[in-house]
Structure 1
């Protein structure tokens, strides 16, 4: 698996330590890695990778990192060879709030490979994808800083379109379709247009061949700078480039025609990409149809709020009603909303499980469900829904409390002094 990051733009290629690693070294130098907070920060970064949620590109979310909670979030997603991956993070406040972005590629059976990193002084990552791959992106803020963020992940073509004044709609024959009674497969895409339409360099590079053959007729081949593949332009009416010529993106290489075995077809460009292993699909490299993320319609006022669900709902691995169910939540389950994406929320349960659920049917817990009287065995008010959690206080016998929600065998309650905590249920 070969993945390369663009050499332009605010990207650290891990030739030196990443911004994340430099920050972690600062924590260690100050001895903070031995404190509870420092250890929690390091653990949060590692755990987020293991619990990365699956998304589809394009993706957009708005979220919030609170200073009082040590947090990190991570995503897994697939990108197709030939696409250019663009990751952008905007944050509020723009200054004095650092978020570290780190990107890895997964190789089956192997550890993830570090690809690129950025901090929010340089809040973008751009990567050209040279193999079909699964990526993992982690976001983690510095300690003791609060802030909101908007993350956007999109993908588009890594090359410019090879025909002047044309686009995806003019492509009428795709890679891999049968040719000559299915005795061979089409090794490129056909882009139709008026005769003598300029065909242009899709990248900066060098012309490696100007020639003629039976299938392609008049052809030009060029090698983009820094890439391990060659671009093939065929059926030209006229060749304007010469071998060895250095060209820039958009320079005219020739004029569209129908030479070679295309003599009975309308003028078009056969555009192919060849590697050492043979022809590959050029469409992702030049496809101008770029999808944009769905608008965020879930109420962003609920971000960083504690909510409960009004009916049974599935917490899913992805913001998709068909995605894997991580947990089935009974009514009134307590959760913390961390982010919003399209019509979904990304939420974390009291046990640390994070997933997606629909943005409708959730209510804030500032209004209780009903008043209940506690039994003698319920007087310990815990800091978390665990019997091993610290006891915040011991309530008086016969106390009446406001029930705010539930989680498994615990109830979240508020007493008469507005102290909120967990008591055991059904004892």
Structure 2
């Protein structure tokens, strides 16, 4: 049960905090999101339900549940203020975040989906927002980092939803998928008896295999000599990083040339200091700060899978001292002490339930650990 707010100082603090989180880093003239417009409308309704809705949205954002990405769950909006959800996750350098929330039943409701930068703990910055159950959010995390997804429906909304947080590479793979290839040496591997570290990845393929542009862009320059042998420096269109291809056998492009994604730029070889190794492509990514791990820029990620069954959602279960609750899905998460005598299932994933505790907090539990339903 949400307790009424009795003190003006707390109310003032709450409103300032909400405004700060919603507008952080966007400037006073930023276009308002659908959620912010909705908040403006319901602020005129002086009711405990409105204040509880805003309070729980803020609480969820500042205290998100930690989840691995990719992540998926099917959940239920039960029409009360506890329906605010927020998830903290990490994305690697070069990964694109794709977040979607869709209806899982015939109910008609609107929810607000947001992606926040969580690099500054306690002061999230809004990156993207969507206001329907049809739109998805996409964000290219070139430098990686920590992020928060917040999902909250309008007041008194009821219905089931599917939420997916997916990751995919920003760039295409530099060797066509019709060619047999494998990633061998990784970022950070020792070189020259430990004197230096590998600043890229090595992709092994038959000598002469085509090497392609990983996206649209411009060839900055080509070269022949040094440890890289025959190389190509490539600037992706609209990005603040460069791509480096090395140990090529041939180069089909020249500096200043525009190329399209998938266009052949050269072939795999073993030039430079790779002359005594099997043919491979050294692939690197460089930002203004120097080399970064390029693996996330090109490696595909398995999409998140929804739960095979959602029949036990919105159900109360008895708890015991043996019930193991966690702060994140899976048994490697931080343990949470069970409070009260029961928990309610509010979402389900491939092998877990997210449950609502009697104190209003949320936790995760193995899908096999809840067995005794309660009649309510």
TM over 0.5: same fold? yes
The counterpart of 1:88, out of the listed 90, 95, 100, is 100
Residues 24-82 of structure 1, C-alpha deviations (whole Å, 9 max, x = no match):
12223xx12x2222212211211111331111112111111023556211111111111
* Partner in structure 2 of residue 393 of structure 1: none
Name the structure, 1 or 2, with higher relative contact order (CA <8 Å, separation 6+): 2
**Size of the alignment, in residue pairs?**
348
Structure 2 gaps of 5+ residues are 1-24
- Aligned-residue CA RMSD (Å): 2.3
Distance in 2 between residues matched to 1:296 and 1:317, nearest whole Å: 19
Q: CA deviation at 1:329?
A: 5.1
Asked if 1:324 is matched to 2:334, the reply is yes
Structure 1 gaps of 5+ residues are 1-12, 367-403, 405-427
* Partner in structure 1 of residue 372 of structure 2: 363
The counterpart of 1:281, out of the listed 286, 293, 302, is 293
Distance in 1 between residues matched to 2:155 and 2:331, nearest whole Å: 35
* Partner in structure 2 of residue 132 of structure 1: 144
* Partner in structure 1 of residue 242 of structure 2: 230
Q: Aligned to 2:39, what secondary structure does the other structure show?
A: helix
More strand by share: 1
Residues 229-255 of structure 1, C-alpha deviations (whole Å, 9 max, x = no match):
110111112211121122221111112
Taking a change above 3 Å as real, the CA distance of residues 266 and 312 of structure 1, as seen in their structure-2 partners, is: closer
The ranges of structure 1 where at least 4 consecutive aligned residues each deviate by more than 4 angstroms after the TM superposition are 166-169
Distance in 1 between residues matched to 2:180 and 2:70, nearest whole Å: 19
Asked if 1:25 is matched to 2:60, the reply is no
Residues 342-362 of structure 1, C-alpha deviations (whole Å, 9 max, x = no match):
222111122212111223333
Contact 1:102 1:116 in 2 (8 A): yes
The counterpart of 1:62, out of the listed 71, 74, 83, is 74
The counterpart of 2:353, out of the listed 341, 345, 353, is 345
Taking a change above 3 Å as real, the CA distance of residues 168 and 196 of structure 1, as seen in their structure-2 partners, is: closer
Q: Aligned to 2:244, what secondary structure does the other structure show?
A: strand
Distance in 2 between residues matched to 1:268 and 1:146, nearest whole Å: 55
The counterpart of 1:308, out of the listed 318, 326, 337, is 318
Structure number, greater radius of gyration: 1
Taking a change above 3 Å as real, the CA distance of residues 99 and 110 of structure 1, as seen in their structure-2 partners, is: closer
Contact 1:312 1:329 in 2 (8 A): no
Contact 2:179 2:209 in 1 (8 A): no
Indicate the larger mover: 13-22 or 199-208. 13-22
Distance in 2 between residues matched to 1:94 and 1:273, nearest whole Å: 46
Residues 160-210 of structure 1, C-alpha deviations (whole Å, 9 max, x = no match):
001123689611111221222222222211111122211111111111112
Contact 1:312 1:328 in 2 (8 A): no
Q: Aligned to 1:62, what secondary structure does the other structure show?
A: strand
Taking a change above 3 Å as real, the CA distance of residues 19 and 311 of structure 1, as seen in their structure-2 partners, is: same
Q: TM-score when scaled to structure 1?
A: 0.76
Taking a change above 3 Å as real, the CA distance of residues 117 and 148 of structure 1, as seen in their structure-2 partners, is: same
Give the 5 Å matches for 1:76-225: 76-93=88-105, 96-108=108-120, 111-165=123-177, 170-225=182-237
